């Protein structure tokens, strides 16, 4: 092996090692208490919650996850190239008292939350809190971005980001464009857990 090839081989090895260390470090740095796993029909989606951006919203989502409130809840509004919305624990649970005509209008018994808007942009994989026209009306519903949506920046609370499983999110059944993303026979969250609770 020539001297130049040896140098290239060593350089490639060092680059690979640095990448492996960075990935290992980031995996160890993940906070299980602020990671939610959504099991969907095509696999798991890991969401890193951001208490640094929206502590009240993160706390409410974790309470609902630990209550089992999101289990069985449908993705009632899914728009190709935009986002998939879910989390209506009142009217959107396909396993109990499902009301398709009202899904998307309900919330939880914990009450609405004051907005926690930030400068964090809405990009592919961002998880934001759904709300009505009133800024302080987010409750249990959230959405996952399929693509960038700068028009949402500073107008909706960013609560987290997908850190693995976006290919699963991409497979969520899409809704009708003419009906603002409303989905017939929608996909659902099979189960949601906080990673720290996984046994």
pLDDT at 4: 43
Q: What is the mean pLDDT of residues 159-182?
A: 96
- CA pair distance 26, 178, nearest whole angstrom: 42
Q: Is the pLDDT of residue 74 over 50?
A: yes
* Backbone angles phi and psi of 175, in degrees to 5: -95, -175
- 101 confidence band (pLDDT: 50, 70, 90): very high
* Percentage with pLDDT > 70 across the chain: 85
Q: Decide: 114 and 60 in contact? Cβ < 8 Å.
A: no
CA distances from 180 to 76, 177, 184 (A): 10, 5, 12
pLDDT at 177: 86
Q: What is the mean pLDDT of residues 61-72?
A: 98
pLDDT digits (tens, 9 = 90+) for 17-39: 333 333 333 344 489 999 999 99
- 119 confidence band (pLDDT: 50, 70, 90): very high
Q: Decide: 72 and 57 in contact? Cβ < 8 Å.
A: no
pTM: predicted TM-score of the whole model, two decimal places? 0.85
Q: Is the pLDDT of residue 185 over 90?
A: yes
CA distances from 150 to 114, 120, 137, 147, 168 (A): 22, 10, 21, 10, 23
Q: Decide: 116 and 52 in contact? Cβ < 8 Å.
A: no
Residue 38: alpha-carbon gap to chain centroid: 8
């Amino acid at each position: 092996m020539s001297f130049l090839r040896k140098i290239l081989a060593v350089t490639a090895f060092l680059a690979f090692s640095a990448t492996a260390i960075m990935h290992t470090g980031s995996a160890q740095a993940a906070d299980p208490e602020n990671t939610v796993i959504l099991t969907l029909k095509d696999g798991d989606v890991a969401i890193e919650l951001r208490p640094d951006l929206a502590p009240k919203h993160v706390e409410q989502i974790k309470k609902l996850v630990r209550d089992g409130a999101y289990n069985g809840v449908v993705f009632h509004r899914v728009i190709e190239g935009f986002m998939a919305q879910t989390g209506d624990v009142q009217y959107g649970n396909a396993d109990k008292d499902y009301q398709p005509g009202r899904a998307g209008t309900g919330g939880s018994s914990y009450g609405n939350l004051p907005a926690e808007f930030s400068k964090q942009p809405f990009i592919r994989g961002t998880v934001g809190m759904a709300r009505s026209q009133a800024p302080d009306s987010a409750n249990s519903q959230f959405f996952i971005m399929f693509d960038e949506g700068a028009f949402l920046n500073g107008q909706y609370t960013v609560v987290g980001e997908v850190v693995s499983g976006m290919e699963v999110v991409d497979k969520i059944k899409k809704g009708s464009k003419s009906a603002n993303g409303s989905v017939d026979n929608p996909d659902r969250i099979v189960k949601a857990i906080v990673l720290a609770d996984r046994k």
